A and B are shown apart, each in its own frame.
Chain A
Amino acid sequence: MTQDTAATPICDVRWLGRLDYDEVWDLQRDLARQRAAGDIPDTLLLLEHEPVFTTGRADVARNLRVSPESLGAPLVRSDRGGDITFHGPGQLVVYPIVNLRAAGIGVAAYVRSLEEVVTRTLDRCGIEAGLDCGRPGVWVGDDKIAAIGVRVGRPLGGSGAWVTTHGLALNVDVDLDWFTKIVACGISDRGVTSMAHLTGQAPAVREVAQMISRDFADVFRRDVSPQTP
């Protein structure tokens, strides 16, 4: 498919299946370098993780409700923004590798746009989600359904490219018991929910991935590559 990339930038969409956190982290760093060098277009990674707890740089201990040994899954200190969260089967993880400078948006607009993508996808599934002043993420009532944590770096320094890694995690049909072991995102007075929990049934994670890639393309004005998930 030949496109006038100046008019509508391309975005590669890749469905990766279920992978370990570290493996995808390495992949993201690699892709970010390639993106900064201009070797690849913006890329949307869609996947599930094996069970893992991850944190930003913030102090971890205060947001654990159990000892690290009894979490039942590895605890990884990541290099994204945001606080502790859980990833695992039944949760759609979306990692956009986007050159913000080329896209012409700043970090706050980027996060707002990610929230918009999730809100649109949930709307397709009949879930009315909202945002919360000062608390990134996407909420249904008082419960968080999607968490956001992003890193913006300059992998090649002088190239001027600011490239995003990490992104968002949408609870499709994830076992919510995992979240009882942590103070999710460091917010203690709120709960966590999922699409399945809200509607009694949820589409397969891969179906949601398809929806979210369309909404991503729409919100970010991208032509998604033919290899949609």
Chain B
Amino acid sequence: MAFTLTMPEIGETVTEGTIEHWLKQPGDKVAKYEPIVEVDTDKVTVELPSPVSGTLKEILVAEGETVEIGAQLAVIDEVAGETPADISLPASDAEKATPAAPLSSPPGSKKSRASKGTRRATPRVRHLAEELGVDLSAVTGTGPGARIVEDDVRAAASGADSPRAADEEAIPLTGIRRTIAQRMSASAFSAPTAWLAMEADVTGLVNLRKSERDAFRDRHGVDLTYLPFMAHSVSQSLLDHPFLNASWGEDQILLKKRINLGIAVATERGLLVPVIPDADKLSVSALAKAMTELGERARANKLQLKDVQGGTFTLDNTGAFGSLISQPIINLGQSAIITMEAITKQPRVVDDDAIAVRSVVALGLSFDHRVLDGHQAGDFLQDVKRRMEAFEQDTDFE
């Protein structure tokens, strides 16, 4: 009696498999449950046993061919009178309730970011969903790669994730959004943050940049902005104010020996803070090149992990979007963050009590009051201000 071996179900999202290797050839005897063929699915080789005893009569699918579940693989001349064994590897009921879901993409790929209603979940989470009576197909995953995590299931169970109103849209969190959220919350809710701001008269700097901008682009191929001047002033000032280049360690304060300056960069994916290592050892011109390069890589989504790690102090260029004054949140693991606001022309009283049109900018500093006090922060900010005001049209910044 001829028995036809078909491709069994071997996993909840597996729809096909590649015949990798026939362990038996036509004419070979095969015992019930004896491995007969190896099938390759994504990264998994599955050994299929024969459901019946008998003789392998004919192989219907050659090695290397890919077939769908249910496809006929071989004909076995079976010994009469036995019940074929079930050789499928059925998914549990919980898994059957969670149909195929898109896999996540690598960090940066936009493909999976927009995917909604993904149903990926680990066995543990599935089990929890079963216990709490939550239908995973109705849960939006907030874990890495939009996977459903325990919190999502609990939130769904408590009704927090009840069916959304038609005038709302749920955006699944991306990895970077989640990281920003966690770090900002951790910083904001742990560091008692104090804030102060000073105004710097940067008329000299504005003149310097105006006269050097074209020549600089010719020499170095990058646009000369105000930010590298600020980065230079900050890095040099940090040398004299170690508590600004430090972190809070619960029972100690950690002073950082290197000055690794993080630069906040807005990207399509969200805020990124690439780091310029040893920024205090670089000239304005070298900083300009480093920042241009990091900014381009950040926006092109080409930063490596090492590019965003190890920062000891952060510079936030809030003036880039026109802010006059802002109160940034300290980057987690650092003791302070400085902003450079927008440079504007303002009437100001100058030395001989005359009123003149000057270019001014606000510099804002948020600092962790556990690590340092206002006078230290003020001294530091005074130094930065003094350096920014010292740039003149003929300053050599190479």
Interface residue from A103, A113, A132, A199 paired with B105 (Cβ < 8 Å): A132
Residues A131 and B106 in contact, CB atoms below 8 Å apart: yes
User: Which residues from chain A contact B21 at a C-beta distance below 8 Å?
Assistant: 57
> Taking CB as reference atom, which chain B residue is nearest A107?
B11
A138-166 interface (Cβ within 8 A of B): 139-142, 148-154, 156-158, 162
The answer to whether A221 touches B127 (Cβ under 8 A) is: yes
Residues of A within 8 A of B31 (CB): 157
**CB distance A152 to B105 under 8 Å?**
no
Within 8 A of B (CB), among A195-213: 198-200
Q: A81, B43: Cβ atoms under 8 Å?
A: yes
Which residues of B have CB within 8 Å of A124? none
Whether B43 and A149, one on each chain, are in contact in the complex, defined by CB atoms closer than 8 angstroms, is yes
Q: How far is the CB of B307 from chain A (nearest CB, A)?
A: 10
Task: Name the A residues within 8 Å of B89 (CB-CB).
Answer: 100-101, 106-107, 152, 162
Interface residue from A82, A105, A139 paired with B123 (Cβ < 8 Å): A105
Interface-central residue, B89, B106, B123, by most chain A CB under 10 Å: B106
B:44-79 near A, CB below 8 Å: 44-47, 49
Query: Residue A128 at the B interface, CB < 8 A?
Result: yes
**B107 within 8 A of partner (CB):** yes
In chain A between 24 and 81, which residues have their CB closer than 8 angstroms to a CB of chain B? 56-57, 79-81
- Residues of B contacting A219 with CB < 8 Å? 122-124
**CA separation between A153 and B41, bound complex, in Å?**
13
Provide the bound-state CA to CA distance between A154 and B32, in Å: 12
Q: From the candidates B49, B111, B124, name the one contacting A220 in the complex (CB within 8 A).
A: B124
Number of A-B contacts (CB under 8 A): 174
Q: CA A151 – CA B48 in complex, angstroms?
A: 11
**Which of A113, A134, A150, A151 lies in contact with B103, CB distance below 8 A?**
A134
> In the complex, A78→B20 CA distance in Å?
13
Q: Does B198 contact A (CB under 8 A)?
A: no
Contact in complex: B103, A109 (CB < 8 Å): no
Q: State the CA gap A57–B37 with chains docked (Å).
A: 13
Q: Is A16 an interface residue (CB 8 A)?
A: no
B interface majority secondary structure:
loop
Among residues of A, the one whose C-beta sits closest to the C-beta of B31 is A157
Inter-chain CA distance A81–B103, complex, in Å, is: 19
A157–B49 touching, CB < 8 Å: yes
Residues in B82-96 with C-beta less than 8 Å from chain A: 85, 87, 89-92, 94-95
Q: A57-B38, A112-B120, A130-B107 are in contact. Are A199 and B45 (CB under 8 A)?
A: no
Q: Mark A118-139, 1 if CB is under 8 A from B, else 0.
A: 0100010011111111101101
Q: Hey, which chain A residues are within 8 Å of B112, CB to CB?
A: 133
**A226 located at the interface, meaning its Cβ lies under 8 Å from any Cβ of chain B in the complex:** no
Within 8 A of A (CB), among B229-252: none
Q: Are B43 and A106 in contact (CB under 8 A)?
A: no
Smallest Cβ distance from A158 to chain B, in angstroms? 4
B residues 7-44 touching A (CB-CB < 8 Å): 9-14, 20-21, 31-35, 38, 40-44
Q: Is B309 an interface residue (CB 8 A)?
A: yes
Q: Are B43 and A136 in contact (CB under 8 A)?
A: yes
Separation of A79 and B47 alpha carbons in the complex (Å): 10
Q: Is the CB of A106 within 8 A of B12?
A: yes
User: Number of B residues whose C-beta is below 8 Å from A?
Assistant: 56
Residues B43 and A109 in contact, CB atoms below 8 Å apart: no
- CB <8 Å contact, A116 and B147: yes
Query: Which residues of chain A have C-beta atoms less than 8 A from B103's C-beta?
Result: 112, 131-134
Q: Does A1 contact B (CB under 8 A)?
A: no
> Is B104 a contact partner of A133 (Cβ separation < 8 A)?
yes
B1 at the interface (CB under 8 A from A): no
Closest to A112 in B: B120
In the complex, chain B residues whose CB is within 8 Å of the CB of A113: 122-123
Contact between B106 and A142 (Cβ–Cβ < 8 Å)?
yes
A119 to B32, CA, bound (A): 40
Please tell me which one of the listed residues A101, A140, A154, A199 contacts residue B35 in the complex, with CB atoms under 8 A apart. Answer: A154
In the complex with contacts A105-B95, A128-B179, A162-B89, A81-B45 CB distance below 8 A: yes
Give complex CA distance A137, B87 in Å.
Answer: 27
Which of B14, B43, B108 has its CB near the most chain A CB atoms (within 10 A)? B43
Query: How far is B145's CA from A129's CA once the two chains are assembled, in angstroms?
Result: 10
Are A130 and B41 in contact (CB-based, < 8 A)? no
The answer to whether B378 has its CB under 8 Å from any CB of chain A is no
**Contact between chains at A106 and B45 (CB < 8 Å):** no
Chain B hits for A218, CB < 8 A: 124
From residue 301 to 315 of chain B, which have CB atoms closer than 8 A to chain A? 304-306, 309-310
Give CA–CA (A138, B94) in the complex, Å: 25
10 interchain residue pairs of minimum CB distance: A157-B33, A106-B11, A104-B92, A153-B47, A107-B11, A81-B45, A108-B11, A136-B43, A108-B13, A81-B44
A-B contact pairs, 6 of them (CB 8 A): A105-B91, A105-B123, A108-B41, A116-B122, A133-B105, A154-B47
Chain B interface residues toward A at CB < 8 A: 9-14, 20-21, 31-35, 38, 40-47, 49, 85, 87, 89-92, 94-95, 102-109, 111-112, 120, 122-124, 127, 144-145, 147, 175, 179, 304-306, 309-310
Question: Taking beta carbons and an 8 Å cutoff, which residues of A are in contact with B?
Answer: 56-57, 79-82, 100-101, 103-113, 116, 119, 123, 126-134, 136-137, 139-142, 148-154, 156-158, 162, 198-200, 218-221
Other than the known A56-B40, A149-B43, A157-B49, what 7 A-B pairs have Cβ atoms closer than 8 Å?
Answer: A57-B21, A82-B43, A104-B91, A106-B89, A107-B14, A128-B305, A219-B123
